[in-house]
């Protein structure tokens, strides 16, 4: 799992294209408030608009190498939830 960072416009612009960004705010244990592949630089202004629309700017996010890595992490997280174990999302 990647490290948590505050989701700012500067941070978004610094991320490698194709990595997978996930808001630390979850609507439920299976769905983040915002999760997308990091767009090419020329499309990130539109991605930033979607981040603002989801109201996750200035909140913590986690960046994974790929969506597959995120799905693996999410599966492990939900395994602990199903077992009734506490497992912090962050």
DSSP 66: S
Instruction: Convert the pLDDT of each residue in 22-57 to its tens digit.
Output: 998 877 767 788 999 999 999 999 999 999 999 999
Selected residue with higher pLDDT from 87 and 57:
57
Helices (H), the chain: 9-14, 44-53, 67-82
Question: What pLDDT is attached to residue 86?
Answer: 44
Enumerate the domain spans of the chain.
4-82
pLDDT over 50 (residue 87): no
Question: What pLDDT is attached to residue 29?
Answer: 65
**Cβ-contact 2, 63 below 8 angstroms:** yes
């Amino acid at each position: 799992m990647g490290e948590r960072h505050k989701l700012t416009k500067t941070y978004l612009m610094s991320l490698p294209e194709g990595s997978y960004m996930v808001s630390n705010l979850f609507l439920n244990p299976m769905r983040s408030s915002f999760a997308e592949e990091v767009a090419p630089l020329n499309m990130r202004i539109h991605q930033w608009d979607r981040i603002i629309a989801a109201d996750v700017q200035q909140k913590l996010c986690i960046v994974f190498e790929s969506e597959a890595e995120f799905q693996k992490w999410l599966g492990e997280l939900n395994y602990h939830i199903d077992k009734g174990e506490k497992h912090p999302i962050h």
